[in-house]
Structure 1
Amino acid sequence: MNRALVVIDVQESFRRLPDWHLASQPDIVGQVNRLVDLARAQDDLVVWVLGARAGSGTVFDPALGHVRLMDGLDPAADEPVLVKSAHNAFTTTNLHQLLTRRGVRELTVCGIKTEQCCETTTRVAADLGFDVTFAIDATATCPIPDPSGGPSLGVADIIERTRYALSGRFATVRTVGELTGAAVR
């Protein structure tokens, strides 16, 4: 096993946010499960990561009960579930050590939010020497308000910007169909 699927922040917290109805990929659970099925079929490691902000009083505060995987996601008993408090999945967890111990050199990244935790994890992973595939349609984001009061940046623009920023620099960007289709050939 030298590959791993890293599922980032696909958690109920996001469904509690007021803008979740504007999410780019409302069926993210279905897309993630396609990647999980592929990873398990190939005997790849699946790592689940949850984002938490203890004591924040927000939907990311574990005390409120929303820091848990979205309904429909079911980690196997031997699949690690890590909890992070940083934007990337490495800084506040033992993810790097876990992957290194298992000889993992290739990662597929998916989850929520496309441009935030998923992209940041991808960049850090590339800096650490991992070969990263970014499953762009197994990520989700919501519009980002303009801090200057102008129009929000829409989800299509966010996803396209992420594709441009990561492709050929930090990751190979693929769709779930490309990844699952390549596996069955």
Structure 2
Amino acid sequence: MDFDDTAALIVIDVQQGFDDPVWGPRDNPGAEANIGRLVQAWADAARPIVLVRHDDSDFPGSPLAADSPGFALKPVVADAPHDLFVTKTVNSAFYGDPDLHAWLGERGIGQLVLCGIQTNMCVETTARMAGNLGYDVTVAIDATHTFDLEGPGGITLTAAELARTTAVNLQGGGFARVVSTDEVLGP
């Protein structure tokens, strides 16, 4: 795919706490490897990289709380070069500190590539907001993963079903292009 030199890679919540069994079954065991490929490609091209971390400190015992070992980034991104580090307490990276939208605007960045954890939560929410804010958004769906989730009336969707639903929501709803890591990186 063809991206501007200023296209930003937004790496969302790639934290050790998502390895905790409390989350349940996950999909896409290759997500972290694909995230690493994207980070390396962006670093090699000197394009901007934004790391995002979720702080779940309002929920005692959360594997993503700041006082938990799970708050730390996974090794695949822990030492990654980055231009901005955003901490958030909600799903969208646009409601974090520092202000992602302002930072992107100050630099004239209009293209975003998203990856990270969880596909149907923070990645999808950030992609929807980015699309609403007018960014040209691409989601590398195989550089994300999520977990099975129970909803109303005891209905449970598998992580794979949720990932497919996110892909349909984002691309079908006009929020983002949903592609593979290989499509992002090209030949």
TM-score (norm 1): 0.90
Match runs of 1:128-143 below 5 Å = 128-143=133-148
Task: Tell me the residue number matched to 1:68.
Answer: 72
2:168 aligns with one of 161, 164, 167: 164
Match runs of 1:31-180 below 5 Å = 31-57=34-60, 58-73=62-77, 74-76=79-81, 78-93=82-97, 94-150=99-155, 152-168=156-172, 169-180=174-185
Query: What secondary structure sits across from 1:62 in the alignment?
Result: coil
User: Aligned equivalents of 2:106 and 2:131: distance in 1?
Assistant: 18
Q: Aligned pair count?
A: 179
CA deviation profile, 1:127-184 (whole Å, cap 9, x unmatched): 111100011000100111133124x20122111111111115000111001111x2x4
Task: Quote the offset at 1:55 in angstroms.
Answer: 4.0
Amino acid at match of 2:157: L
Query: What secondary structure sits across from 1:148 in the alignment?
Result: helix
For structure 2, the 5+ residue unaligned runs are none
1:16 aligns with one of 14, 20, 39: 20
For structure 1, the 5+ residue unaligned runs are none
Q: Contact conserved, 2:86 with 2:96, CA < 8 A, in 1?
A: no
- Root-mean-square deviation (CA, aligned residues, Å) is 1.6
Matched, 1:4 2:8: yes
User: Aligned equivalents of 1:119 and 1:163: distance in 2?
Assistant: 9
User: Aligned equivalents of 2:86 and 2:113: distance in 1?
Assistant: 16
Query: What secondary structure sits across from 1:66 in the alignment?
Result: helix
TM-score (norm 2): 0.89
